[in-house]
Amino acid sequence: AQSVTQPDIHITVSEGASLELRCNYSYGATPYLFWYVQSPGQGLQLLLKYFSGDTLVQGIKGFEAEFKRSQSSFNLRKPSVHWSDAAEYFCAVGASSYNTDKLIFGTGTRLQVFP
Amino acid sequence: DGGITQSPKYLFRKEGQNVTLSCEQNLNHDAMYWYRQDPGQGLRLIYYSQIVNDFQKGDIAEGYSVSREKKESFPLTVTSAQKNPTAFYLCASRSGTGGLNTEAFFGQGTRLTVV
């Protein structure tokens, strides 16, 4: 079955430190992968996406993610975290089921940033 | 500006009442989705629609109903049959028929509370 796992429920980092949020997926075909960010009480905003080609993709707000097929992973990284990055982050995979395309989301990772 | 508008932002419901959440988009997207978000559970798909006058049940459709009479509108009704409706509800849309490689755009959400 198609699924997305985000093993870290909550991560705390200091401002200026590097960040890596983990995402593992389970999908039989070539995955279409996304990272979204959600500020409290708000909708989701797309950070970046991977479809094919270069396995390192760049997104908005200085984020990047690396697709590793051998590890079924799509981890999100940022070299230096800012206080405004505190939010919840969701990894998602585009999945096809019964001729319908939909997004399957992980359970999210809440990022807290200390000054 | 193009986007998705959800209303109201906050909604209170008495037990036994039906309530309808509004979702309107002016992105000319064919596919629209309703997700429910609970703490620690990520986003779960309630209903989705690929075209006007057609919609499909998602993973947690029981106690909910939808309609898709217009391309730009996809209202969600939370019925009295939904035993635990208190949650944050997110509406999303995708271009075309929502192919695997297209990103989803989200509204700002509606927080529903049963009182």
Task: State pLDDT tens for residues B40-54.
Answer: 888 999 999 988 999
Kindly state whether A40 is in contact with chain B, defined as any CB-CB distance less than 8 angstroms.
no
User: What pLDDT, on a 0 to 100 scale, did the predictor assign at position B89?
Assistant: 97
Q: What is the 3-state secondary structure (H, E, C) of B21-58?
A: EEEEECCCCCEEEEEEECCCCCEEEEEEEEECCEEEEC
Residues in a beta bridge with A114: A14
Interchain proximity A105–B103, CB inside 8 Å: no
Given a cut of 90, whether residue A114 has pLDDT beyond it is yes
- Give the closest residue to B33 by CA, choosing from B14, B17, B49: B49
Name the B residues in 64-103 with CB < 8 Å from any A CB: 88, 90, 92, 94, 97-103
CB nearest to A107's CB, from B42, B58, B104? B42
Q: Which helix (H) or strand (E) holds B104?
A: none
Name the closest residue on chain B to residue A109, using Cα atoms.
Answer: B40
User: What pLDDT, on a 0 to 100 scale, did the predictor assign at position B98?
Assistant: 53
Kindly state whether B55 is in contact with chain A, defined as any CB-CB distance less than 8 angstroms.
no
Name the closest residue on chain B to residue A91, using Cα atoms.
Answer: B42
Interchain proximity B43–A51, CB inside 8 Å: no
Under the banding of pLDDT at 50, 70 and 90, the label for residue B15 is: confident
B10 alpha carbon, distance to own chain's centre: 14
| pLDDT tens string A9-34 | 999 999 999 999 999 998 777 788 99
Work out the average pLDDT over B89-105.
81
- Give the closest residue to B114 by CA, choosing from B60, B90, B78, B67: B78
Under the banding of pLDDT at 50, 70 and 90, the label for residue A51 is: confident
d(CA B41, CA B39) in angstroms, rounded, equals 6
Q: Which residue has the higher pLDDT, B72 or A54?
A: B72
% of residues, chain A, pLDDT over 70: 96
The three-point CA angle A79-A82-A84 to 5° equals: 140
CB nearest to A102's CB, from B45, B88, B107? B45
Given a cut of 80, whether residue A1 has pLDDT beyond it is no
Interchain proximity A43–B111, CB inside 8 Å: no
Q: How far is B22 from chain A (nearest CA, A)?
A: 15
Q: How far is B100 from chain A (nearest CA, A)?
A: 5
